[in-house]
Amino acid sequence: MTAHEPSAARRSSGRIGPALRGIASSLLTPILAVLAAFMVGSVVIGVLKVNPLLAYGHLLRGAVGNLGQLTTTLVSSIPLIFAGLAVTLAFRASVWNIGAEGQLYMGALLAVWAGTALRLPAGLHLLVALAFGAAGGSLWAAIPGFLNARRGLNEVITTILMNYIAIWFVAYMIHYPLREPGWNPQTSQVLASARLPILIEGTSLHAGIILALAAAAVVHILLTRTGLGFAIRMVGANRQAARYAGVNVAAVTVVTMALSGALAGLAGASEILGTRYRLLEGFSPGWGFDAIAVALVGRTTALGTILGALFFGALRTGANVMQASTGLPVVAVYFIQGLVVLFMIAGSAANFVRKSAERRKEAGTVDRDTGSAAIS
């Protein structure tokens, strides 16, 4: 695939003004959505007889107040970055990967097996364990990709079903074949040779953050600078047109899902190899589902996904301090996150309505070709 990339060409021509304006306008909706969510949140917090500014102060302090909190926020963002990238990449091909949760479980399973069962030199062992994690997620995601491409099965439905199969299968593996002798259902610890190194002594920050940022760069380059990325976006924009243009839509769908699953698998693997070192039941607090919100807030771009993941990670980390200081429950931040997502939809809907009104004015007729996705 040697398709020429029009937008990359435009960007390289050095017109910085429009590019900056583009970034500003794409940031506008998320920023407004976040502000609106915090404003509504402050009213609710006020009703609960807690000073909202004080609560948000504690939230901020808990998220970034000192080195320990800041690194905790970064560490909790790592799986969200990986899983968010997984959703983002699939979304660009108009494929909904709701299965990141199951894929990260399978990634964690294979990573923990490689990290405990294999005997390899340090470094190589880590790479092999990460590769196993990526492969686990990738294979698990390729199945719904294949079923979508070949059998026309809705990937939303198949990925949800496969989440449960993965979660219960992993639970079985933890309870029986991989169980560490002892009372608790858990695997034994990943060997030191397969662990992600700690970056700052005395904190929990591990090298997974570097891998996550690198993965974002790879996704960005893949989407904007490669033939495959162009094909992915073509399939995402219009499957029919892509098919007429000679793109193998089925192959692109399967490959996109496999890559998406690899990213989700790395979300699980990085958590196991960098933080927990062993696999327990229910080790994910729902990163695979949060990833959908992360990708949305990040406007399904690689950079945006990083920002969205950091935002979600900061909220979840800060919530603990907020609870301890003000008595507000940790789930208060879920309220804010949910509002952000709904305000993002409302913002896109407002845009959608305004654009159709403008177009109607221009054309003088009712233009029906506005498309159906009110989110991107």
Residues 57 and 165: their CA atoms lie apart, in Å, by 41
Which is nearer to other proteins, 197 or 371 (by Cβ)? 371
Which is nearer to other proteins, 132 or 343 (by Cβ)? 343
Which is nearer to other proteins, 197 or 286 (by Cβ)? 286
Which is nearer to other proteins, 101 or 273 (by Cβ)? 101
Residues 136 and 301: their CA atoms lie apart, in Å, by 24
Total H helices, total E strands in the chain: 14, 0
Please give the backbone phi and psi of residue 2, each rounded to the nearest 5 degrees, phi first.
-120, 35
What is the closest distance, in whole angstroms, from the C-beta atom of residue 58 to other proteins in the complex?
A: 14
What is the closest distance, in whole angstroms, from the C-beta atom of residue 313 to other proteins in the complex?
A: 15
Those residues with Cβ within 8 angstroms of residue 189's Cβ, 6 or more apart along the chain or in another chain: 116, 277, 278
What is the closest distance, in whole angstroms, from the C-beta atom of residue 198 to other proteins in the complex?
A: 31
Among candidate residues 104, 142, 340, the one with its CA nearest the CA of residue 255: 142
Q: What is the largest CA-CA distance in the chain?
A: 75
Residues 178 and 175: their CA atoms lie apart, in Å, by 7
Q: Which residues pair with 206 in a beta bridge?
A: 198
Which is nearer to other proteins, 118 or 341 (by Cβ)? 341
What is the closest distance, in whole angstroms, from the C-beta atom of residue 359 to other proteins in the complex?
A: 13
Which is nearer to other proteins, 11 or 352 (by Cβ)? 352
Which is nearer to other proteins, 321 or 328 (by Cβ)? 328
- Contact positions vs other proteins (CB under 8 A): 44, 47-48, 96, 98, 147, 151-154, 156-158, 160-162, 164-165, 168-169, 171-172, 175-176, 238-239, 289-290, 292-293, 296, 327-342, 344-346, 348-349, 352, 368-375
Which is nearer to other proteins, 207 or 341 (by Cβ)? 341
Among candidate residues 138, 137, 130, 136, the one with its CA nearest the CA of residue 269: 130
What is the closest distance, in whole angstroms, from the C-beta atom of residue 250 to other proteins in the complex?
A: 15
Contact by Cβ (8 Å): 300, 42? no
Residues 131 and 137: their CA atoms lie apart, in Å, by 10
- By the 10 Å C-beta count (0-12 exposed, 13-18 middle, 19+ buried), 117 is classed as exposed
What is the closest distance, in whole angstroms, from the C-beta atom of residue 214 to other proteins in the complex?
A: 27
Residues 296 and 308: their CA atoms lie apart, in Å, by 8
Please tell me whether residue 230 adopts helix, strand or coil conformation.
helix
